[in-house]
Structure 1
Amino acid sequence: MARNDDRMSREEAGRMGGEATSRNHDKEFYQEIGRKGGEATSKSHDKEFYQEIGRKGGEATSNSHDKDFYKEIGSKGGSARSNDDR
C-alpha cells in the first residue's frame, strides 16, 4: 500500500524486494542461506537454549489446539508418509 505522499511503505518495499529476490534465485539458493543461518545460530546457542525454545513452542501450540486437531494432523502425516513409501 503506497502512502499518500507517493512514497512506498516499508511493508510494500519488503514485499517487492522479496518478490524480486524469489524471481532471481532458485531453491538451492534458499537452502544454502538457510543452512548458513542454522550454522551461525547453532554456534551462538547451547543445547539448553534449544530445549527451552522447543518447550515454549510446544506449550504455545498445545494451548492453542485441542485433541481433535492433533488426531487430524497425525492422520494426515501418516497418510502422507505411507504415500511416500510407494
Structure 2
Amino acid sequence: MSNQNKQGSSNRGFASMDEDKQRSIASQGGKAAHEKGTAHEFSSEEAREAGRKGGQASHGGRR
C-alpha cells in the first residue's frame, strides 16, 4: 500500500515508511532483544491462553 494515495498523512515517521523497510527495522529490533536476552518467549501454556483470548475478542464477545 502506498502512502502517497492517503490524504492528510505525514511523510515522517515509522508508519509512513514502506512495509519492507518497517519489517526490516522491526526484525533488527527483535534480533537485538533476543541477543540481549530481554525478548519474551511464550510457553505453550501462555500461547494457548493468548489464542483463547484472541478468539474471544475477535467475535466481540458474542458467542
More relative contact order, 1 or 2 (CA 8 Å, 6+ apart): 2
Band of TM-score, shorter chain: 0.3 to 0.5
Greater radius of gyration (CA): 1
Relative to the length of structure 2, the TM-score reads 0.44
Relative to the length of structure 1, the TM-score reads 0.35
Greater fraction helix: 1
